[in-house]
Structure 1
Amino acid sequence: MISKILCFILMLFTISAASQSLITKSKKYPAFFVGYQFSPEARDNTETWESSKMHILEIAYGKVLDHGTRHGESAAWYTGTDLIFNYKESFLVAPKIGANTSGGALVLGGEIQFQTDFNKVVPRAMPYLGLGGLGRRLFIGYNFRLLKTEFFPVNTLNIGLTLPIRTKKG
């Protein structure tokens, strides 16, 4: 319960920081986000490491807000999907929405995912912390389930790298 509350507070902080950034005179441009994530952690002690590691391909579209300051403050918000490959379940898809804010080299963000095998859905929230800015991020995140049920093994700890591909400058 405490983890869900902390996750919710982190998501509110991220969205608040991104929305306050809209007030300043900044450059905003659209971008495609591509990334790779690896989840090495087993869901419970009954699974072997081989059956629980997941490889995740991230594809998203969103906006990057560059403040143009000396310390590189920026924000990004996006919507997209994760394509999840593992050994136990052959393929999962996770439509998602997310946002992050950065200052200096620190990135703080979160996303809501709906991981599915097209028969069952598991909603998850993933706050993350990492290094980067201007939509780039090298991060570590942890998925929290939003329902008590678990229909299939879902990644918990994620280590990932995401890069934006600018479509045009704003």
Structure 2
Amino acid sequence: MSIGNWIAIAVPILGLVGGAIVYQIQRSIDRSNQLRAERRDLYRKLVALFDDCIVEFHNKDVGASFASYREFRKIQAEILVCAPDAVVEKLKPVSTAIIAAGAELGGDSSVRKARIKSMEDVMDAAIHAMRGDVLGSSKISLEMIAEFSRGLAVSLGRFPR
């Protein structure tokens, strides 16, 4: 066989092998992007439910806060399945802080406000971890997240500082 015949056989085989490799790589990238998009949607829902809990705790609305917390836990359970360890580790203290704040709904307002502040602090750390997961890297610091979340709530008139 001449070199021309070998080339005629090798080129299609290399093309098939190369196509199979590229397909596998692209499929892996697409799956990673799909999982990231799912996590991003869950993170958004979780942050919105957390905000509902904060508002309801400030308003001392026990029934609504319990309902929001149940929804929060459902989303948190979904995140537990698909989020990286760094995010899951930051979310555990959020539930603990919400439960502690919920226990103070009918009690002393200064204790309740301190518990709510604790909730916000641990959630800010969780949001920072979520941003790291979804964006890969971010120049937004934990302090900036805290400042933004507190300022947004005040500017929307949800509750006083």
TM-score of the superposed pair, with normalisation by structure 2: 0.30
Q: Which has the larger radius of gyration?
A: 2
TM-score of the superposed pair, with normalisation by structure 1: 0.28
